[in-house]
Structure 1
């Protein structure tokens, strides 16, 4: 019996020794996440590439190689060019507004006041609330007849009832509305980023700057902000990537209108590829976001590395 039990114990101890190795155990823990990415990101990406170089539609499902013809055709389409311009405006304007709101929100939450813990818990609601539910509330606020914004301005005497703006019916105001809603959705994330960055700055540096005569604005924008810029930039990268590929706000609020004034790439790809059935051109529109995002992310990461040096 001793001769049988000894090899089994030796095998078990060897197995435990392998699991004690950091690279083996780390690979086991990371494997589910890698598998998740491969199945839910890698496979759809390969399918998009497969369809983008073909003439595949739901009406003609026979696969026929056409090369880069689909990409040339969408670049010659004025609606696509307008959509691309809208996407850049929607992304960068909403991220800038969200960062400004997040910065001032973080500065307010750093100061002691009654109920600060409750406010810190409630401030995350725009990020946590389902966007479909939030869009219903915002659609009511921007409604042409029952807008609470118009009602408030009329009550305060700022505008007359005849001058009440049609928020979602005017092309310029509709774009402003989707930008505001996306910034409202993003700014709790920006607050968390700024809070983490500001609290990580050593208090000795701030005290030394105060003794040297630096006021509130100089301390925040010449000392603290440059020190936390890498943290803010990483959060901004995540915000840009998610906003650039998002279609939910546009789809729920304006449906791309009026007259394609708020159409973005994600919505255009969905409309062409899924609703219209032109899978090949829809895949080409969706893949067009990849090189643009890649260039932006690589450029921002290189900029962050230079700032750290």
Structure 2
């Protein structure tokens, strides 16, 4: 859903704004955001692997750096709000350390409650020769309280057996599944944004819009705030404004700030190319099977 009136992209946070792209350190943005004002914090922070937007630190220093940001995000979070922290692995000398295991105690000590450890599965990435190639990352979903917001219906997916009915008892003959679809579960398969992905930019670790859309739709209502402290090229804000939410984020790399603004403007104008949230993932084996059936017929 698009806003009918023109929207500006602000550089500084204000409660009357709808879109904020802060060109600088996220802690500087966070200190301007009021307590209890954000409904959803969703981000994929640096993994401490030496990308251009981060400085590689010792692990304890990295965790403390993350903790500073997490503490501020929790302060900004609504009592009904959620934090979704998407991370992968830290790799050193061929050995992996799962970052969700390192960061979980930070959230726990701040009183947050984990609702799901969502596995984001994808098919493409680096090929390993001395271990199995990594093909998933995790999204840690925490709520600030027991009274958290969760809207399941907007993110239901097609039933495996949509026509299944009760065969006995008082409901015999009635459909036994929800007509809107089923709960998508905590194993999500979305293509990661690699070279042939329609959303690909110069950012090396880019969120797919459809992944963030599922979080936005299930954990926020219209006109509420979505915050991404490590904004990258603006994907979280794009997912937010696409569904009539407000979006704010910070990014320190000027190139990515410019790309974020450009992509958000394209989204507002209805010209941004993205992969639809409900499109099935391409399965080469299934495609070959359909092709062979077509050839036989």
Higher-strand-fraction structure: 2
Q: Relative CO higher for 1 or 2, CA cutoff 8 Å, sep ≥ 6? A: 1
State the TM bucket, normalised to the shorter chain.
under 0.3
TM value normalised by structure 2: 0.23
Give the structure with the higher percent helix.
Answer: 1
